[in-house]
């Protein structure tokens, strides 16, 4: 199976397992900058050179060799499951994508038809009942993850632990798991542990949010989107994420972690 979703600098200074909706655009640009002294011109996900990615055939050998022998520092980044699924909804379901179209073509019409979701449009300033539509989307997300219908789960709302685990199961080991919520501190730990060709000032790095501005803004506090049923569904889908990455399931309004991540526990639980 190899190491899907894994990126590595050309200098092999660091290895990163991408988790969608967890600052991956910013992390990719930091890695690119650390080798080249400039940012990639465009969305880092589109870069076909300048760094190794598992999706590029010529990169698979170098990544396999590096990760298999744990030659370089390896890390990933996670995010509170409540804010992550909300971000996925506003970006992928409600937003217009970079190509000017809806995400995955027929996905939104399917959701409108089967789940009664509304998403608004740029013409009406994305006016719709965000809370009602989000809760309907949650039912859809649960159906895709639990029963793989009406389609396979999408990488943007499948559990983070699933993404993180493939790296471990195939022989990799993480040195660090960064929280999006304390991003600068976590990335500084990564930078302190590696030698980069170019100096990186983490406090001067802009945030690369490729999805920003393409859809509606969240109109309510996070906790308003989650009633008892929504919280039940969230726990069903993301139980391992809350436990392993130390997020607060009981309070959707608390996005901050509640304890330290135990890397040994993560490797033991996700390496099975």
Ranges 23-32, 39-48, 120-129, 166-175: which has the least confidence? 120-129
Label each residue of the chain as H, E or C. Answer: CCCCCEEEECCCCEEEECCCCCCHHHHHHHHHHHHHCCCCCCCHHHCCCCEEECCCHHHHHHHHHHHHCCCCEEEEEECCHHHHHHHHHHHHHCCECCCCCECCCCHHHHHHHHHCCCCCCHHHCCCCCHHHHHHHHHHHHHHHHHHCCCCCCCCCCCCHHHHHHHHHHCCCCCCEEEEHHHHHHHHHHHHHHCCCCCCCCHHHCCCCCCCCCCCCCCCCCHHHHCCHHHHHHHHHHHHHHHHHHCCCCCCCCCCCCCCCCCHHHHHHHHCC
Q: Please check the confidence at residue 1 and state whether its pLDDT lies above 90.
A: no
| Rounded Cα–Cα distance for residues 204 and 33 (Å) | 12
pLDDT at 98: 80
pLDDT at 148: 93
pLDDT at 38: 97
pLDDT at 172: 98
* Residue 168 binned pLDDT confidence (cut-offs 50, 70, 90): very high
What residues have CB less than 8 Å from 157, skipping those under 6 apart?
84, 85, 88, 92, 141, 144, 145
Q: What is the mean pLDDT of residues 73-93?
A: 96
pLDDT digits (tens, 9 = 90+) for 184-231: 999 999 999 999 999 999 999 998 976 666 778 899 999 999 999 999
pLDDT at 122: 75
**pTM, whole model, 2 decimals?**
0.95
Q: Please check the confidence at residue 100 and state whether its pLDDT lies above 90.
A: no
Whole-angstrom CA distances from 91 to 62, 129, 211 are 33, 16, 6
Using a pLDDT cut of 70, give the percent of the chain over it: 98
pLDDT digits (tens, 9 = 90+) for 134-143: 999 999 999 9
pLDDT digits (tens, 9 = 90+) for 41-76: 999 999 999 999 999 999 999 999 999 999 999 999
Q: What is the mean pLDDT of residues 3-15?
A: 98
pLDDT at 210: 64
Phi and psi, residue 78, nearest 5°:
-125, 170
Using a pLDDT cut of 90, give the percent of the chain over it: 89
Smallest Cα–Cα separation from 224: which of 105, 92, 100, 135? 135
Contact 98, 44 (CB under 8 A): no
pLDDT at 112: 92
Please provide the average confidence, as pLDDT, over all residues in the chain: 95
């Amino acid at each position: 199976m190899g190491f899907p979703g894994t990126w590595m600098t050309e200098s092999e200074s660091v290895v990163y397992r991408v988790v969608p909706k967890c600052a991956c655009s910013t992390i990719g640009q930091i890695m690119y900058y650390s080798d080249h002294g400039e940012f990639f011109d465009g969305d880092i996900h589109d870069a076909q050179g300048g760094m190794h990615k598992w999706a590029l055939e010529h990169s698979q050998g170098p990544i396999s060799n590096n990760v298999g022998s744990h030659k370089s520092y390896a890390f990933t980044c996670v995010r509170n499951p409540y804010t992550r699924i909300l971000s996925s909804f506003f970006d992928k379901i409600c937003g217009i994508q970079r190509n000017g179209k809806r995400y995955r073509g027929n996905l939104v019409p399917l959701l409108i038809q089967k789940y009664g979701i509304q998403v608004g449009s740029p013409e009406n300033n994305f006016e719709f009942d965000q809370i009602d539509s989000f809760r309907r989307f949650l039912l859809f997300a649960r159906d895709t993850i639990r029963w793989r219908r009406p389609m396979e789960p999408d990488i943007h709302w499948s559990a983070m632990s699933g993404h993180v685990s493939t790296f471990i199961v195939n022989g990799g080991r993480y040195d660090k798991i960064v929280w999006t919520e304390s991003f600068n501190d976590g990335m500084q730990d990564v930078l302190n542990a590696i030698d980069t060709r170019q100096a990186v000032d983490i406090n001067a790095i802009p945030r690369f949010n490729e999805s920003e501005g393409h859809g509606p803004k969240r109109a309510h506090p996070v906790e308003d989107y989650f009633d008892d049923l929504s919280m039940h569904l969230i726990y069903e889908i993301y139980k391992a994420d809350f436990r392993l990455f130390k997020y607060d399931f009981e309070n959707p309004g608390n996005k901050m972690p509640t304890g330290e991540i135990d890397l040994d526990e993560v490797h033991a639980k996700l390496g099975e």
